Amino acid sequence: MSKLKLSGKELRAIGFPEGPVISAAMNVMQKNYKHHGKKEVMELLQKVLASPIEYMNDGVLALIAEKLIVKVEAEIPPAEGLREAGIQFNVFGQEHIEEGAMHQMYTAAKLPISVAGALMPDAHSGYGLPIGAVLATDNAVIPYGVGVDIGCRMCLSIFDIDPKELTQKESYFAREINEATLFGSGGQFDQASDHEVMENELFQQLPLLKNLHGRAWKQLGSSGSGNHFVEFGVVEITEKDEVLGVEAGKYVGLLSHSGSRALGANIANHYTKIAISKRRLPHDAKNLAWLTLDEEEGMEYWLAMNLAGEYASACHHIIHAKIAKQLGRKPVTMVENHHNFAWKEKWEGKEVIVHRKGATPAGKDVLGIIPGSMTADGFIVKGKGETAAVNSASHGAGRKMSRSRAIASVTDKQFKEELKKFGVKLLGGGLDESPFAYKDIDLVMQSQKALVDIVGKFTPKIVKMSARAGTDGDGAKHRSWGKKREEVVGE
């Protein structure tokens, strides 16, 4: 019988990686299996390749197995996995929270980076972290723990105008909302607004952001779709609060809710893919993959996330400035807050990263806005700095049914009757955002009395949202609206 001869080409063909393992395998097999048939040897090599650890104690094949295991360990990141027992976290208004959101939070609590957490009474299921979740981590940021709509924001301007004018001049106020912003997924302005945020050097330093710069500029000052809105309503202050600084009385309020548009969505999805590739987590936890702030990608995400937050803020300020100019009034004050973001904060004397995905910052004396629905009151709140909630509160009433369920279970007649009952004029909007789709905001606020003080109330009167079927509130198609939904909103 002729002696065994092997080639590197033959070993590569059955899956052996490039490197020292090929020559090692050839030498071992040709020396120790020189009188065996090639078919038999190749089958044995495939077995070693498939499970090298099983051959680590083999007197001959261990020399091949060692090199295969070293190669595998060099290419695959170590498995972090989940803790057997997660950190403890507090739940506010648990009776209002669906089981899916609770399960997601229990999973997040088992991450090896988790330090502290809380679940707000408006919580419901999301991607990665549930919406309404707060999670503090050790030197790590979770892109889907922030959410797809990075820096999604509430902004309220209070004007010293008699609220009766909202009824007396309804068409005038409705026109100002329609002309001040643009709704619809993918919507872009024909002529971009100007703002210093677009001059941020990160747009030139990071390739991802450089490619998004032009589109982001054309979307500056737009509002998107989903649960985003711009609305006029009545602000009621029952007594002056030192932090808010507004005298008791009734005012006209302009309230907006939207985020960072396609810019934030692209940042979130790009860095989530990177995080998933770097962390080995169970399938149901993969969207909780993180980046450490010591990693280049983690530092990049942190910078990009903060830029998206500045961009979201700029969008609101442009809308409010346009309307204030038309009203011929400067606001008495402005209250605003992010609720899809991550902050560096102190926790038990140590710096941590606090993710608030659909949760409002509520540190001691920090002001924020918690909206209800298009017919329900919203609230201006002041944080109490409650550590049990990681200095947080809910970001709204929270959904009690999905969009598809809302569309299937609510009729147009019911919807219109509800709007009429509360005296609300709706511009655009659909059944998926009807008041019936949301939890009772008063029950939600009752569940977080220990977290915030109410210092003012906002009652919606003229509401603008993304229209159904790509039309505005009057049924007219907008020439610059895109056809493809490109960001997830409402988280």
Tally of domains in the chain: 2
pLDDT in tens, 158-207: 999 999 999 999 999 999 999 999 998 788 888 878 899 999 999 999 99
Do 59 and 167 fall into the same domain? no
Contacts of 31 (CB under 8 A, 6+ apart): none
Question: How far is CA 142 from each of CA 85, 88, 111, 114, 219, rounded to the nearest angstrom?
Answer: 20, 19, 11, 11, 26
Across the chain, which has 491 residues, the per-10-residue mean pLDDT values are 82 83 88 87 86 75 78 43 90 89 95 97 91 97 96 97 97 95 86 91 94 94 92 97 97 97 95 94 93 96 98 97 96 96 96 97 98 96 97 94 87 94 93 92 94 97 76 29 32 40
Contacts of 245 (CB under 8 A, 6+ apart): 333
Do 453 and 319 fall into the same domain? yes
Domain membership of residue 20 as a residue range: 8-75
Domain boundary among 75, 93, 116: 75
Given the DSSP bridges, would you call strands 359-361 and 333-338 parallel, antiparallel or unpaired?
unpaired
Do 164 and 69 fall into the same domain? no
> What is the reported pLDDT for 187?
83
pLDDT in tens, 293-331: 999 999 999 999 999 999 999 999 999 999 999 999 999
> What is the reported pLDDT for 1?
54
Indicate the DSSP class of residue 395.
S
Do 52 and 185 fall into the same domain? no
Domain boundary among 75, 108, 130: 75
Q: The domain spanning residue 373 has which CATH number? A: 3.90.1860.10
Task: Report if residue 138 sits inside a domain.
Answer: no
Do 282 and 404 fall into the same domain? yes
How is residue 464 written in tokens? 């603008």
- On the CB side of 68, CA atoms within 13 Å amount to 23
Domain boundary among 47, 75, 103: 75
How is residue 472 written in tokens? 């505005």
Give the predicted TM-score (pTM) of the model.
0.80
> What is the reported pLDDT for 79?
46
Do 169 and 60 fall into the same domain? no
Do 186 and 300 fall into the same domain? yes
CA-CA-CA-CA torsion for 135, 139, 144, 149, nearest 10 degrees?
Answer: 90
Q: For 419-454, give the DSSP string.
A: HHHTT-EEEEE-GGGSGGGB--HHHHHHTTTTTEEE
Task: Report if residue 344 sits inside a domain.
Answer: no
Do 58 and 178 fall into the same domain? no
Distance separating alpha carbons of residues 157 and 180, to the nearest angstrom: 14
Measured in degrees and rounded to the nearest 5, phi and psi for residue 459 equal: -110, 115
Task: Report if residue 107 sits inside a domain.
Answer: no
> What is the reported pLDDT for 475?
29
Task: Report if residue 330 sits inside a domain.
Answer: yes
Task: Report if residue 192 sits inside a domain.
Answer: yes
Distance separating alpha carbons of residues 364 and 91, to the nearest angstrom: 20
* Relative orientation angle of helices 261-278 and 296-327, to the nearest 10 degrees: 160
> What is the reported pLDDT for 468?
54
